[in-house]
Every structure is written in C-alpha cells, then in structure tokens.
Structure 1
Amino acid sequence: MSETIETWFDQPLVFTIAARHVRGRFVRLGPVLNTIMAAHSYPPVAEKLLAEALVLTVLLGSTLKTEGGQMTLQAQTGGGPVELLVCDYRGGELRGYLKFDAERLAEVGSDPTLFALFGEGFLAITFDQEATGERYQGIVPLEGASIGAAAEHYFEQSEQISSLIKLAARHDAEAGCVAGGMLLQHLPEGEVGRDRLHVRHDLPEWEHAKTIGATLKDEELTDPATSLETLAWRLFHEDEVRIEPGAAVSRGCRCSPDYFAGVLAQFPETERQDMADEQGKIVVDCAFCSRIFPIALEDIASRP
C-alpha cells in the first residue's frame, strides 16, 4: 500500500486483495452528506437511516464502469412509519430523500429494526447503463438488522456474490453528520478465475477476509481523523492490498427550472393547463432539495 495517498471524505477508496480473491471499497461522507441533509429537518432516527442509505448508494453506484450510468436505491414501506426512501448516484453525483410519518417514527425508539421502520417492505436496487440502454433491477425483502444486511441479501439472491456490508452514521459536534461504509466481496466468476456462489461453496479465502472485515467498528468508519487507507491497512495488513481512489462525490440534485420545463413539455397542453394555477404557473416541489419551482406555461410552450 502507498503511504502517500490519503482519502478522508466524499471519495471512495477501491481496494483489491488478490491473494484472497476479494475486492472492496470504503467511503466516508461528510460535507456532501451535510449539504444533502441541510435541505430537510430530519429527526435523528431518520437522519441516520438516510445517511447510511446514501453511503450504501455510493458504495454500489461507484461500481458502475460506464459514464452516464445511474444506480438507484429505493426502499418502500410495508406499513411502517417510513413510507419511502430514495437515493441515486450518477457519475459521482449523489442525492437522497426520505418520506415518513413523523408521529409514528417518534414511537420506534432510537435504534429501531428495519421492520419497525418499514414493516414488510422491500428494497429495490436498479442499475441503468446509459451507453447500452440496459437496465437491471433486483428486489429483495427489507429483512435483517440494517439496510446493509438487506443489500447483502440482494447480492446473494440476485448476483450470487458473497458480500459483507458495514454501514455507520453519527452526528459529530464539529463535522456534523458523518457516515461511513465498507463493501467487501468475493470476486465472481471471470475475475481472477473465481466461481460464483451457486458453483462453489467452500471459500476459505473469502471466509478469512469476511471474518476480518466484520471486526471493523462503527467508530472507525465515522472517525474524521482516520483515513480510508489506514482502515484498509489495519484490517488487511497481512496481505498485499492494492488501492485506488474512486471518483469524488458531490451533491447531485438535478432540479432546475429548465429541467422541469423540459419534463412538463412532454405532457399534452390540456394537461399542463389543468396543472397550472391562476397565475398560469405550474408549481413543482423537488423532494430531494426541498425547493419550489414555479414554471410558467409560456416558458414550457416556447421550448423547441
């Protein structure tokens, strides 16, 4: 491992342990996370849930190899106080939103289970490849102790890839909301000659790496004073670890008057008239950034 690279906030660190046939990535979100959170007044339980979901979105979305591709994570309720959780990642741009019943959420306590938050909900993970137009979506039940555990089930069921996901979030007095995560995976078929789960089940190299990865503490993931390279070295120093910084992460809400005007232009004129208020404007409320955009009908009609 190189001692000259230091990755702290808002940039994934990709690593490979060739001897164990394992790949992974770390990320810690800070300034970007606080920018996203600043658009809403989330209670602590909601803030922690969304923060961990945003970390998971970066861990998964940054695996996309083609420019313009998008990864969307959506968790939907099965009767719980959290009605909808949506995050997406595209080319390093990240955004997320949480819709919930405040009164019911206040009753679940400070450390609720996924069932307490969502009921019998589901997690949908969607990869859109812009270059090829291909879309792949996997849907799994929201089961387990955390949204990370539900994502592990996604990889096992939809991808047949052994995975370990660690997520943590906390509120720091100086740094604000800080959240970190690790994605650790056994290399699938076609990468370093490894087989998928349904072909081979005795994976001693993977079990060793997984056991070590499981020792990672929440405090380490969210410690602003510990670089991601240091985390990789602490965990896997007995092996050769190849590291590479990923693309920097930024807040990526794509809302703008021009964007919404373009979307509304796709509606028939009669429908646009019905949506407009007395001043001839269609008011659009962006859930991601909590901003309101009044779009004049004449601006929509004048688009080429």
Structure 2
Amino acid sequence: MSQQSEIFTDQILNFTLPARDARGRAVRLDCVLNTVLSAHDYPAPIRHLLAEALVLAALIGGLLKDAGAQMTMQAQTQDGVVKLLACDYRAGEVRGYVDFDTERLAGLGSNPSLFALFGQGYLAITFDGVGGGERYQGIVPLEGESLANACENYFVQSEQVPTLIRLGVRNDPDGCVAGGILIQHLPDGEDGRDRLHARLDHPHWEHVSIMGGTIRHDELLDEELSLEAIIWRLFHEEDSIKVEPGAHVIRGCRCSIAHYQSVLNTFPPQELNEMRDDDGVIKVDCAFCSQVFPIAI
C-alpha cells in the first residue's frame, strides 16, 4: 500500500457548496473494507455487492450528526439469489454481511445485475438515535441498476432530498478498494428537515448534479488522487468550497460474550434450554464477523 493510500483511505471527507445549497460526503475504503470482507469466503459478485454497500453505509451514515446515532441499511427479498444484505454505520464503525444462495449465484455469471441478485426486493434504511433518540425508517422498492440508484430513490421518495451517488469498486487478487461520493441539495441548510419544496429541477441542483455526475470510477479508486483533489476537480469554478475531515472508518462488529449474555437473559428458561447443546452451552454465531461465541448461561 502506498503512502498516499494510507493517507487518503478509510476516512470520510465532508464538504459543502454554500452558494449552491449543497452538501456532500466522499470516502475511499481499503483496509476496513478488506477486514470486513475477510470474515467470509465471498465469491466475486458478492464481494462487489458488499463493497458497494459498505461505501454507501459510510456515505449515508456520515450524514449523522448525533453522537451514538446509527444508520442501518437492509436489502431483502423472498425470491432472489441474495436473501439478505445488511450493513450499518455508527460513529465511524461499519459492518456488513450477505446471505445468499450459492448454487443459484453460480448460474448468474461474473457480473449479475441488481435485479438478477434480488428480484422483486426492497431497500430499508433506518436512522436510530437521531434528534435525542428518535427513529426514522424509509422503505422503497429495490429498483435501478445498482444499490446507489436504490439509495438515490430512497432519499427522493422518503426524505424529499435530491441526491446524487456515484460508486466505484476494484476487486483485485491483492484486495478490494472502493470509493464513493454523495451530494445533496439542501435549500434549508444542513440541519433542516422540512425540505418538501426541494426540486429536482432547481437551477442550483441541476448545476451541481451535472458537475458531480462527471466523476469517473477510476478517479474514485485512484489511490494517488486525494478526496480533496476530487472535490476540487468537480467544483473548482465555485466561489467557495468548504471541506473538513469526517470520521475515520473502522470495522465495528459489536459482538461479545457479554453482549450475547445480556440478550439471552431476556429469553424464558424453557427457550434457553432448547438452545443448549449436550454440554449445556449455547453457541451464538455472529453473521457479521463469522465468530462463534459459547455462552454458558
């Protein structure tokens, strides 16, 4: 890994374009991405899918301002090859996993479409602990050519916020690198929630979305090109661009024996007895990190 890669990966960059009523987040994931992917022996299409999801988790979760707030994203279907994609973000910590049908995936080729993977699925995005503990959830059909398209639809349909998202993923034998940028039109400012009058054809948003849409996948993945340089390339004609470092992104699987003991303590004795093996131990398998925790309770 180059020195430039170490400097410019696994950290969110926040930026605003004050004259255009726009804000954005950019991120490039490297070490944290490969740490999460290493928990399971995912085939290439699933590695690509989960890499996109983790970048989206960082971009969308990075919008949260409340300490301790969490963003959870789930893509799910009843009849698709991918049964469940789940990831979340909290204070710079990301985790994720994919449950899929191995045999059916093998018949889809090396680059299956979103519809081939999920069929008639849906996307649910949930914000917990926002604004002093409130919970917001939006559910939209899993439509479009990519997860990024589905997330754009979520923001337009559930939050009425015009949003542009672009992602790039490179999956090499030496590891995976993924990057992304998210830009939003917020005429009421960063903290406003009553944004029903935001329009997709607003002159400011039309300009910003056209400029932002020129980003190339190879630029998002170029480890010799900083995120700051990317933002400058896109918006160097603006009067003002404000940038500031966001959270460092790390893997944050919160599984532990103490955590699972507290969860199991909520079950009635009869159900606990049914969970125990012949040695009287309850074994809990964490899907996120692929560890098995023996719990004596």
Q: Same fold (TM over 0.5)?
A: yes
Q: Distance in 2 between matches of 1:193 and 1:287?
A: 37
Farther off after superposition, 47-56 or 202-211 = 202-211
Query: Aligned partners of 2:232 and 2:200: how far apart in 1?
Result: 28
- Please list the CA deviations of residues 226-248 of structure 1 after superposition, one character each: whole Å capped at 9, or x if unmatched: 11011111111111211011011
2: CA distance between counterparts of 1:102 and 1:201?
40
Question: Cα RMSD (Å) of the superposition?
Answer: 1.9
What's the CA shift for 1:71? 0.4
* TM-superposition CA deviations, 1:238-264 (whole Å, max 9, x none): 112110110111100011111111111
CA contact (8 A) 2:255 2:286 kept: yes
Residue in 2 aligned with 1:128?
128
- Distance in 2 (CA, whole Å) between partners of 1:207 and 1:194 is 21
Output the TM-score relative to the length of structure 1: 0.91
Spell out, residue by residue over 1:48-73, the C-alpha distance to the aligned partner (whole angstroms, 9 max, x if none).
Answer: 00000010011111111111111000
Q: Deviations over 1:79-119 (max 9, x none)?
A: 11000000001111110010001111122222222111100
Identity within the alignment, %: 59
Q: Distance in 1 between matches of 2:218 and 2:26?
A: 14
2:99 aligns with 99
In structure 2, the partner of 1:208 is 207
Deviation at 1:197, TM superposition (A): 5.2
Correspondence for 1:227 = 226
* Structure 1 residue 172 displacement after superposition: 3.7
Residues 39 and 290, structure 2, Cα contact 8 Å, conserved in 1: yes
Q: Which residue of 2 aligns with 1:291?
A: 291
Cα distance change, pair 132–192 in 1 and its aligned pair in 2 (3 A): closer
Instruction: Note if 1:111 corresponds to 2:105.
Output: no
Q: Which shifted more, 144-153 or 191-200?
A: 191-200
Partner of 1:166: 166
Query: Distance in 1 between the 2:270 and 2:194 partners?
Result: 56
Quick one: which amino acid aligns to residue 93 of structure 1? E
The secondary structure found in structure 2 opposite 1:96 is strand
Residue 162 of structure 2 contacts residue 198 of structure 2 at CA under 8 Å; is this kept in 1?
no
Name the stretch that deviates more: 199-208 or 237-246: 199-208
Query: In the superposition, relative to structure 1, how do residues 201 and 53 fare at CA in structure 2: closer, same or farther (>3 Å)?
Result: closer
| Structure 2 Cα separation of the partners of residues 7 and 160 of structure 1 | 35
Which secondary structure does the structure 2 equivalent of 1:246 belong to?
strand
SS of equivalent to 2:95: strand
- With over 3 angstroms needed to count, the CA separation of the structure-2 counterparts of 1:202 and 1:217, relative to structure 1, is closer
Aligned with 1:48: secondary structure? helix
227-236 or 124-133, larger mean C-alpha shift: 124-133
Is the Cα–Cα contact under 8 Å of residues 85 and 97 in structure 2 kept in the other structure? yes
SS at match of 2:274: helix
Amino acid at match of 1:237: H
Report the equivalent of 2:68.
68
State the one-letter code of the partner of 2:227. L
1:143 matched to 2:143? The reply is yes
| 8 Å CA contact 1:7, 1:228 repeated in 2 | no
**Alpha-carbon displacement from aligned partner over 1:113-160 (angstroms, at most 9, x marks no partner):** 211110000000000016622110000000001000000000001111
Q: Report the number of matched residues.
A: 291
Extract unaligned runs of 5+ from structure 1.
Answer: 1-5, 298-304
Give the direction of change, closer, same or farther, for the CA distance of 1:192–1:125 in structure 2 (3 Å limit): closer
CA contact (8 A) 2:21 2:189 kept: no
Q: Determine the C-alpha separation between the residues in 2 that align with 1:245 and 1:72.
A: 22
The match for 2:3 is none
Task: Quote the offset at 1:205 in angstroms.
Answer: 1.4
